A and B are shown apart, each in its own frame.
Chain A
Amino acid sequence: MRTKHDDWRELSRKALERLSSKADYADIRFVSRLGETVEVKNGAVEGVTSSSESGFGIRVLKDGAWGFASSSAPGLEEVLAVADRALAIARASALVEGHKAELSPTETVVDTWSSAYKKDPFEVKIEDKLELLLSAEKRVREGGQGRVAVAQAGSGARREEKSFASTEGSYIEQEITETGAGIAAYSVGPGELQRRTYPNGDRDLSDCAGWEVVLDLDLEGNAERVGREAAELLEAKKCPSGEKDIIVDSTQMVLQIHESCGHPTELDRVYGTEAGYAGTSFLTTDKLGKLKYGSEHVTLVADATVPGGLGTFGYDDEGVPGQRTVLVDKGTFVNYQTSRETAARLGQRSNGTMRADGWNRPPIIRMTNINLEPGDWSLDEMIKDTRDGLLMEINKSWSIDDKRLNFQFGTEIGWEVKDGSLGAMVKSPNYTGITPEFWGSCDAVGNKNHWKLWGTPNCGKGEPSQIAHVGHGTPPARFRKVRVGVGQ
């Protein structure tokens, strides 16, 4: 029986045949996605949604200018029309002369790749998901003892099947399954709104895996604490204002890396092609291999090969294999995340970070799993070694300037650290800094026992808007003399 993949292969071949003599380069991607979200709130089902979408996108390079066209309509006639449209658009792009794109070489690949999972999340009955989530949500409310205004639990699953074919002869099929779940409590007081979540903020997809990750979370076992802490935050101390040593825990380190290392090491930002929207980067090419980005304790990598991350894949959407690249080596900035086009400008080969948000977007440079390599401290040792500080957990507010230097991040909860011991709970803690100064103040990084790979399924970039699923492997770390309590 003819399958969807047979159609994709055949239609890809015909589209590329049509373009091969007219374009300098072309690729076509077919993508289909299945999605499911289950959300419960305050004892009721807020929404269960099942989504399905599919389509294809064709990218054409002609005389150094790009065109991209996409459609959800099926059939050969539509594929050929969209191929012609992409070529016409590439020709229109060339009307404004400027930089001419050239692609760095890559191997021709014919392959398939699938992410691993143990329990297919789409095979788990919705009734069973609701039972688990309603039970966890009920325990959140119980933990809040009447002070939690909104208790929530949710799960998500997504399966993406996609093909990539290029005029250079590559043909790659991939299937990626993602799953996750979480709980949240919102407590309300006079002029006050506090939030507590588990495992890490408001996100339904956390791992490139199956339903087993949800079972491993033990939502019900953490629910009472989440509700209780949300209520306790209403009475907690305000965050002190001034300079403190701060311990950024593994959950908040996700956001810290994402904003201050992940985005500024994207080479398209450096070359200005995100300037019209999200901004550029302070990590200009003259700093490559020279800039002291952080202290000697700081080594950051982009790793698409680590199992289970939302930034894990076999091949990027240019057909380049997923790989591991050191971005910051013992404090020195040494590499970017690159594409075939941007790598060529540096005389390099792509390190495989081009991904598109579905069939209807062209690939752009996206983070893979951007990870802070573990050090040799335990969290207890960090606390014992800190005289006057704050421990901060789970991001809830974030902002950073358009070159990724000045940031201000807030977390759900914090604890004072006094003379080597955890002290009082602190509500709405925040901290601010300048990226290289902040990472330069890092003097302790947690060991591998504290290192965890987290998912960030909501990374926005690009026009038209693209949402990427990326990962961050993080230990906790300590930073000296950081300004905290801004606007408190």
Chain B
Amino acid sequence: MIAKERVEEVLERGLEFSEADQTEVVVMGGDTYLTRYATNYIHQNTAESNAEVFVRAVIGKKIGVATTNALDDESLRQAVGRAVAIAGVQPDLPDFVSLPGPDVAGTPAEVTAFSERTAGFTAEDRAAAVGRVTSLSARNGFEAAGAFSTSVLRLGVANSLGIRRYAETTTSRLTAIVMGPSGSGFADDSSADAGAIDVERVADVAVGKCRDAQDPVAAEPGDYEVILEPAAVAQIVMYLGFMGLGALAVQEGRSFMSGRVGQRVTGENFTLWDDGNDPSGFPLPFDFEGVSRRKVMLIENGVARGVVYDTYTAGREPGKTSTGHAIPPMMHYGPLPLNMFVKTGNSTIEEMVKGTKRGLLVTRFHYTNPVHPVLTILTGMTRDGTFLIENGKIKGPIKNMRYTNSVLDAFSEIEAISKEARVSERFIGSISAPAMKIRKFTFTGATQF
């Protein structure tokens, strides 16, 4: 695995090789491991060691980007040369101001999620954890599938204006889908510390859900009260972020937040923010431009408060500065909130069930996609445990349903929020979400299982 000293050396060499007005070099490297299992055995088991270099060269208001994963001087020189050459042949990008400089307020404490135990986790360790899931599954006559992944990431950012940032993070995640003849259950856990993954809980919950999910009956599509477990809430929050909580989407009028900051967009009991420094998530202290991540309130007590910025989008609005949410330079989505937190409430799933006359309990969603981004309408399927609730009790499992519903409408109809939240690891970040009871949620179709 690439060492810290090598990351810093590559950053400096990259800057040295550039003749551009401004230059930025990002090095992202590390090792990732993933043990994949299905039908109670390990069918795929992978290791990857890689280090990528992203070079952004600026000539006036022209920008070129080049990437490579070869770290020798000749390859670095070529990558820098390509970035500079690309910048040279472009017209100006009128709104571009500058790459960021070092934080005026100084570098805050470098909070990262790093665990030596994860760095030392072996294929045997992963197999042992998977074996505990598959054994419990097999003892119950079920088949388990999922993955145990771990990673060590070393990220360095440097630019010719003086930014020098370096961080190490680790991630680990165990997923389990346990399948019986006519239904399935799901559970997962993620942590910076692979040794802290609660394997027994993942196995117990997934097997228990699977047991409860057998022999489902068909339910009619229509409007229901729903209780969404944290995994289901996390998925629709993730899409809310993609659809409109980044500044570029707002500036282009593509976001539900466009022109609505300061206005009510959900019920008062919904609050959402992004915080890349919160140790309860997967903190990374700076973004892919080396700018310190700032906590950004996105929706507070139902009122739209703001979106996240990178240096380019901040430069397009007077008085704005980057909030530290730049993504890698070859991705053109604009800044994204990658560490979102939904405010918890004071309820429990059990209490929500007790207070439901007729409704559905959803474990998680599958294959969600936007139907109408401005109206935040999504569609997707339920998966791995959907249950009918009647008169305060879970009556039994139902076959999976298709929902087509506006996220903002759903968050305007929240009746209860759980006091517990679950953190699920996502692409270079995480989402912390509680369970929610929503008064009205529209299911538009059903499938055969």
Chain A contact residues, CB within 8 Å of chain B: 37, 39, 44-55, 65-74, 82, 85-86, 88-90, 92-99, 101, 125-127, 130, 134, 149-150, 186, 188, 191-193, 271-277, 279, 282, 360-362, 364, 397-403, 405-406, 408, 410, 428, 430, 432, 434, 463-464, 486-487
- Name which of A50, A74, A92 has the most chain B CB atoms within 10 A of its CB: A50
Q: A48-B90, A51-B66, A428-B372 are in contact. Are A96 and B34 (CB under 8 A)?
A: no
Per-residue A-contact encoding for B333-377, CB less than 8 Å = 1, 0 else: 000000000000000000000000000000000111111111101
Contacts of B69 in A (CB 8 A): 52-55, 72
Q: A92-B126, A99-B39, A193-B254 are in contact. Are A67 and B45 (CB under 8 A)?
A: yes
Question: Which single residue of chain B is at the shortest CB-CB distance from A275?
Answer: B145
Interface stretch among B159-167, B277-285, B379-387? B379-387
Complex Cα distance, B399 from A434, in Å, reads: 14
Whether B402 and A193, one on each chain, are in contact in the complex, defined by CB atoms closer than 8 angstroms, is: no
Whether B40 is near chain A, meaning CB under 8 Å from some CB there, is yes
Distance (whole angstroms) from the CB of A4 to the closest CB of chain B: 11
Whether B89 is near chain A, meaning CB under 8 Å from some CB there, is yes
Whether B50 and A52, one on each chain, are in contact in the complex, defined by CB atoms closer than 8 angstroms, is: no
Whether B293 is near chain A, meaning CB under 8 Å from some CB there, is no
Q: A97-B41, A276-B38, A408-B445 are in contact. Are A402 and B67 (CB under 8 A)?
A: no
Whether B63 and A403, one on each chain, are in contact in the complex, defined by CB atoms closer than 8 angstroms, is: no
Complex Cα distance, B42 from A333, in Å, reads: 30
Whether B51 is near chain A, meaning CB under 8 Å from some CB there, is yes
Distance (whole angstroms) from the CB of B404 to the closest CB of chain A: 4
Complex Cα distance, B38 from A67, in Å, reads: 15
Interface stretch among B128-136, B319-327, B416-424? B128-136
Contacts of A69 in B (CB 8 A): 46-48
Complex Cα distance, B123 from A65, in Å, reads: 13
Whether B43 and A399, one on each chain, are in contact in the complex, defined by CB atoms closer than 8 angstroms, is: no
Whether B143 is near chain A, meaning CB under 8 Å from some CB there, is yes
Whether B70 and A54, one on each chain, are in contact in the complex, defined by CB atoms closer than 8 angstroms, is: yes
Whether B318 is near chain A, meaning CB under 8 Å from some CB there, is no
Q: A98-B39, A464-B149 are in contact. List 15 more A-B contacts (CB 8 A).
A: A47-B63, A50-B79, A72-B69, A92-B45, A126-B86, A186-B254, A188-B253, A275-B143, A401-B449, A405-B448, A408-B404, A432-B402, A464-B32, A486-B404, A487-B444
Q: A126-B89, A272-B143, A276-B145 are in contact. Are A49 and B66 (CB under 8 A)?
A: yes
Per-residue A-contact encoding for B62-105, CB less than 8 Å = 1, 0 else: 11111111100001001100110010011111110000000000
Contacts of B75 in A (CB 8 A): 52
Whether B124 is near chain A, meaning CB under 8 Å from some CB there, is yes
Q: Which of B37, B62, B92, B254 contacts A150 (CB 8 A)?
A: B254
Contacts of A53 in B (CB 8 A): 52, 67-70
Q: A71-B49, A406-B402, A408-B445 are in contact. Are A50 and B145 (CB under 8 A)?
A: no
Question: Which single residue of chain B is at the shortest CB-CB distance from A398?
Answer: B369
Contacts of B368 in A (CB 8 A): 399
Question: Which single residue of chain B is at the shortest CB-CB distance from A277?
Answer: B147
Complex Cα distance, B37 from A10, in Å, reads: 34
Contacts of B185 in A (CB 8 A): none
Chain B contact residues, CB within 8 Å of chain A: 32, 34-52, 62-70, 75, 78-79, 82-83, 86, 89-95, 122-124, 126-128, 130-131, 134, 143, 145-147, 149, 175-177, 179, 252-254, 258, 329-330, 332, 366-375, 377, 379-381, 383, 400, 402, 404-405, 442, 444-449
Distance (whole angstroms) from the CB of B261 to the closest CB of chain A: 16
Whether B65 and A98, one on each chain, are in contact in the complex, defined by CB atoms closer than 8 angstroms, is: no
- Name which of B38, B43, B67 has the most chain A CB atoms within 10 A of its CB: B43
Whether A72 and B38, one on each chain, are in contact in the complex, defined by CB atoms closer than 8 angstroms, is: no
Distance (whole angstroms) from the CB of A277 to the closest CB of chain B: 7
16 contacts between A and B (CB under 8 A): A47-B65, A52-B67, A66-B43, A68-B47, A89-B123, A92-B35, A97-B41, A186-B254, A188-B374, A275-B38, A398-B369, A406-B446, A406-B448, A408-B402, A408-B404, A486-B445
Contacts of B52 in A (CB 8 A): 53
Whether B179 and A275, one on each chain, are in contact in the complex, defined by CB atoms closer than 8 angstroms, is: yes
Whether A362 and B49, one on each chain, are in contact in the complex, defined by CB atoms closer than 8 angstroms, is: no
Contacts of B39 in A (CB 8 A): 98-99, 271-273, 275
Q: A50-B86, A276-B37, A486-B445 are in contact. Are A72 and B45 (CB under 8 A)?
A: no
Contacts of A192 in B (CB 8 A): 374
Complex Cα distance, B60 from A45, in Å, reads: 14
Contacts of A274 in B (CB 8 A): 38
Interface SS majority for chain A? mixed
Contacts of B146 in A (CB 8 A): 276
Question: Which single residue of chain B is at the shortest CB-CB distance from A360?
Answer: B48
Distance (whole angstroms) from the CB of A390 to the closest CB of chain B: 17
Distance (whole angstroms) from the CB of B273 to the closest CB of chain A: 25
Contacts of B90 in A (CB 8 A): 45, 48, 126, 130
Question: Which single residue of chain B is at the shortest CB-CB distance from A483?
Answer: B445
Contacts of A397 in B (CB 8 A): 369-371, 379
Question: Which single residue of chain A is at the shortest CB-CB distance from B39?
Answer: A272
Distance (whole angstroms) from the CB of B325 to the closest CB of chain A: 17
Distance (whole angstroms) from the CB of B249 to the closest CB of chain A: 10
Leading 6 A-B pairs by shortest Cβ distance = A98-B41, A92-B123, A406-B447, A487-B404, A276-B145, A275-B145
Complex Cα distance, B378 from A429, in Å, reads: 14
Contacts of A88 in B (CB 8 A): 123
Distance (whole angstroms) from the CB of B132 to the closest CB of chain A: 10
Complex Cα distance, B135 from A96, in Å, reads: 9
Complex Cα distance, B143 from A401, in Å, reads: 19
Complex Cα distance, B89 from A353, in Å, reads: 41
Question: Which single residue of chain A is at the shortest CB-CB distance from B31?
Answer: A71
Complex Cα distance, B41 from A192, in Å, reads: 48
Q: A71-B50, A271-B39, A487-B371 are in contact. Are A93 and B134 (CB under 8 A)?
A: no
Contacts of A191 in B (CB 8 A): 374-375
Whether A193 and B374, one on each chain, are in contact in the complex, defined by CB atoms closer than 8 angstroms, is: yes
- Name which of B36, B62, B130 has the most chain A CB atoms within 10 A of its CB: B36
Distance (whole angstroms) from the CB of A360 to the closest CB of chain B: 5
Q: A99-B41, A401-B400, A406-B402 are in contact. Are A360 and B366 (CB under 8 A)?
A: no
- Name which of A55, A191, A192, A464 has the most chain B CB atoms within 10 A of its CB: A464
Complex Cα distance, B131 from A49, in Å, reads: 44
Q: A149-B252, A276-B38, A397-B370 are in contact. Are A402 and B123 (CB under 8 A)?
A: no
Whether A487 and B442, one on each chain, are in contact in the complex, defined by CB atoms closer than 8 angstroms, is: yes
Complex Cα distance, B93 from A359, in Å, reads: 35
Whether B404 and A463, one on each chain, are in contact in the complex, defined by CB atoms closer than 8 angstroms, is: no
Complex Cα distance, B63 from A402, in Å, reads: 42
